[in-house]
Chains A and B, each alone.
Chain A
Amino acid sequence: MTCHDAREQLSALIDDALGAEERGAVEAHLATCAECRRELERLRDTVALLRAVEPARAPAGFVDRVLEAARPAPWPRRLVRALLLPWPVKLPVEAAAIVLVAVGVVYVFQATQGLQQARHLGSVQSVTTASDQAAPAPPSQDAVREAPPTPEAARAKQTARTLEGARPQNKEQAPGQKALEKSASAKETPEKKGAPTSQAFSEAGQRSKDSDERRAKLDDAARDVAKRQANAPPATSAEPQVAGKLEESPARAEHSQGVAAARARSSAAPASEPRVDTPQAPRPAATPPMATAFVPPDVSGRLAVANRDAALQDLARLLARLGGVEDRRFVGDEGPIIELTIPREAYPDLLRELAALGRWQLIREAPALPERIRVVLRITS
């Protein structure tokens, strides 16, 4: 065995990891080679140095930290981690959540009549707002007769004309402001003229006391306008929505406004957002005006019945038979309020049938009834 071969085995010799034959061969060489013996001793000393190194000790608390890390995270942390998903997952989930909330809002709005009533009442406010907004014209009386830029402006001026009759001292003010003032002063003028009291209209369709009063005032103002128009229809009226109908027949002016009102109501909300109109939101100028919504019905009355539900069913059958249409239904303080339209030829039948359904009390009937009569019924017990 050469020195090289022997030295290759020295580590194994130290570790006692050689077979008997190998070991014998190495030891035989070492017995004859002082250099290799010296080499073995140096190597042995080196190994001894290594083995004298004190074993390392893990730091205090190491096991606890490992156990803590190995334990599954508590559920709140896992929930937070789940919520903080990667963006490609999280974004669509959040978008879907927003859509769900939006759908929920629309659903709740549709399912809650109170909100719809609020929207309706909000439109009352919008009339005054529209009148206010329609005041860019110079503050002269002539300017009022110019073609108005928007239907709102037309209506505001229409109302303003009435106002000017009552309060000519306000000429220096903008017509819109006059219209607004008319809304305020209307409570005196109709009474002076012996117009139907606000109670009449209250019977016709409103629940809230405040809104009753406000609507009645506006209603009276609008009726006043309609009457004036019936006497002298404004041939140059530029109102796009109602003017055409007004010109058809002066006698039917009031009805025409009613039709326009119904139409305005049905198309009140723009198509893009059919139901989510908030009461406070100002309507776009291009939208048909809500002002006509305050024209009173042609006929209003109260029907006292023993069983409201049965009466409502009877009424529905009656309408179907007579060719009438139920336009709207409210929940009033005393009972349901039905707004319906019926052909003039079926009107006598309606009155007769209503009298048969319960105690029928006719509260108001327009002197001239249009072809399609708008009736508001209050069903009470």
Chain B
Amino acid sequence: MIAHQHRVFGVALRMLGSRAEAEEAAQEVFLRAHRAIADFRGDAKLSTWLYAIASRLCLNRLASGERRLLREGEETLARIPSGHASPADELERSERDAALHRAIAELSDERRLVVVLRDLEGLSYEEIAAALDLELGTVRSRLHRARLDLKEKLERFLP
């Protein structure tokens, strides 16, 4: 669990938008996994199984409408270490991060989930298909649509 906590929390954070809600959801993911450990098939990776649980739980929460409306956008931003960047660079980075996050947050839930799993969490297409119980072609097209959306919104930050 120690090895997977950050991944599960990361998915929940990017999908749900607030750290508090993400922690609650991630905790629920591990509790469900704990209860359903007998259902875990040894042939799948444990991480894929946990991602599957986390993805379903997040989509359900998003669909149920019970979640808080608050979207703590800044919270979900990754704080990239600034290093020795100049104040101008720092400002630009900050703006870009904000735009990036906003763009991710504005994706549809299904597209956002795929892009989070692929580009932020690094899952393969096959793993995503397994976790979300989708066809490989569906994963590929959703991911591509998500990236095109993001490209449009982040146009001005691209080199």
Determine whether the beta carbon of A45 is less than 8 Å from that of B14.
Answer: no
Whether B140 contacts A11 by the Cβ 8 Å rule is: yes
Q: Which of B5, B31, B104, B143 contacts A62 (CB 8 A)?
A: B5
In the complex, which residues 338-362 of chain A have their Cβ closer than 8 Å to any Cβ of chain B?
A: none
Interface Cβ pair total, 8 Å cutoff: 103
Pairwise interchain contact B158-A70, C-beta atoms closer than 8 A = no
Residues of A within 8 A of B31 (CB): 66, 69-70
Q: How large is the interface on B (under 10, 10 to 19, 20 to 34, 35 or more residues)?
A: 35 or more
Chain B 43-85 interface 0/1 with A at a Cβ cutoff of 8 Å (1 = within): 0000000000000000000000000000000001011110000
CB-contacts of B1-54 with A (<8 A) = 1-2, 5-10, 13-14, 19, 22-23, 26-27, 30-31, 34
Which of B30, B96, B115 gathers most chain A CB within 10 Å?
B30
Most buried by B among A50, A69, A70: A50
Are the C-beta atoms of A58 and B26 separated by less than 8 Å?
yes
Task: Assess whether B118 is interfacial by the CB under 8 Å rule.
Answer: yes
**A77: interface (CB < 8 Å):** no
Complex formed: what's the CA distance from A45 to B150 in Å? 11
A-contact 0/1 string along B75-111, CB 8 Å cutoff:
0101111000000000000001100100010000000
CB contact list, A17-55 vs B, under 8 A: 17, 42-43, 45-47, 49-55
The residue on A at minimum CB distance from B120 is A53
Cβ 8 A contact of B154, one of A10, A46, A66: A46
CB-CB under 8 A from A52, the residues of chain B are: 80
Residues of chain A within 8 A of B115, CB atoms compared: 50
From B7, B23, B121, B143, A59 is in contact (CB under 8 Å) with B23
Contact call B119/A56, Cβ cutoff below 8 A: no
Residues of chain B within 8 A of A50, CB atoms compared: 100, 104, 115, 119-120, 147, 150
In the bound complex, do residue B9 and residue A58 qualify as a contact, i.e. CB atoms below 8 Å apart?
yes
Give the dominant DSSP class at A's interface. Answer: helix
On whether the beta carbons of B158 and A56 are closer than 8 Å, the reply is no
Give the residues in chain A near B76, CB-CB below 8 Å: 56
B110-159: which have CB < 8 Å to A?
A: 115, 118-121, 124-125, 140-141, 143-144, 147-148, 150-151, 154-155, 157-159
A250 to B: closest C-beta gap in Å: 92
Interface residues of A in 295-347 (CB under 8 A from B): none
Q: For residue A23, give the distance in angstroms from its CB to the closest CB of chain B.
A: 13
Contacting residue for A12 out of B23, B119, B140, CB 8 A: B140
* Interface range, A side: 20 to 34
Contacts of B19 in A (CB 8 A): 59
A55 and B78 in contact, given A17-B125, A50-B120 (Cβ under 8 angstroms):
yes
Min C-beta distance of B100 to chain A, whole Å: 6
Q: Does A210 contact B (CB under 8 A)?
A: no
| Central interface residue in B76, B115, B140, by most chain A CB within 10 Å | B140
In the assembled complex, which residues on chain B have CB atoms less than 8 Å from the CB atom of A43? 147-148, 151
Q: Given A10-B144, A66-B1, A66-B27, A57–B100 Cβ distance below 8 Å?
A: no
Contacts of B143 in A (CB 8 A): 11, 15
Assess whether A63 is interfacial by the CB under 8 Å rule. yes
State whether B148 touches A55 (Cβ < 8 A): no
A54–B147 CB distance below 8 A: no
Chain A minimum-CB-distance residue to B30: A66
Chain B residue numbers with a CB within 8 Å of A12 are 125, 140, 144
* A163 → B minimal CB distance (Å): 84
Cβ contact within 8 Å between A46 and B158: yes
CB distance from B81 to the nearest CB of A (A): 8
CA gap between A55 and B13 in the complex, in Å: 11
Q: List B contacts of A47 (CB < 8 A).
A: 119, 147
Residues of A within 8 A of B97 (CB): 53
User: Bound complex: CA of A320 vs CA of B22, how far in Å?
Assistant: 88
| Complex interface: chain B residues within 8 A of A49 (CB) | 96, 100, 150, 154, 157-158
| Chain A residues within 8 Å of B147, by CB | 11, 43, 46-47, 50
Report the minimum CB–CB distance from B61 to chain A (whole Å).
17
How far is A89 from B96 in the complex, measured between Cα atoms in Å?
59
| B118 and A56 contacting across the interface, CB-CB below 8 Å | no
Q: Among B119, B140, B159, find the residue whose CB has the most chain A CB atoms closer than 10 A.
A: B119
Q: How far is the CB of B155 from chain A (nearest CB, A)?
A: 8
Q: For the complex, what is the distance from the CA of A63 to the CA of B19, rounded to whole Å?
A: 15
7 contacts between A and B (CB under 8 A): A8-B141, A49-B158, A50-B119, A53-B97, A53-B100, A57-B9, A65-B23
Closest 7 CB pairs of A and B: A56-B10, A58-B9, A54-B78, A11-B144, A50-B119, A58-B5, A53-B78
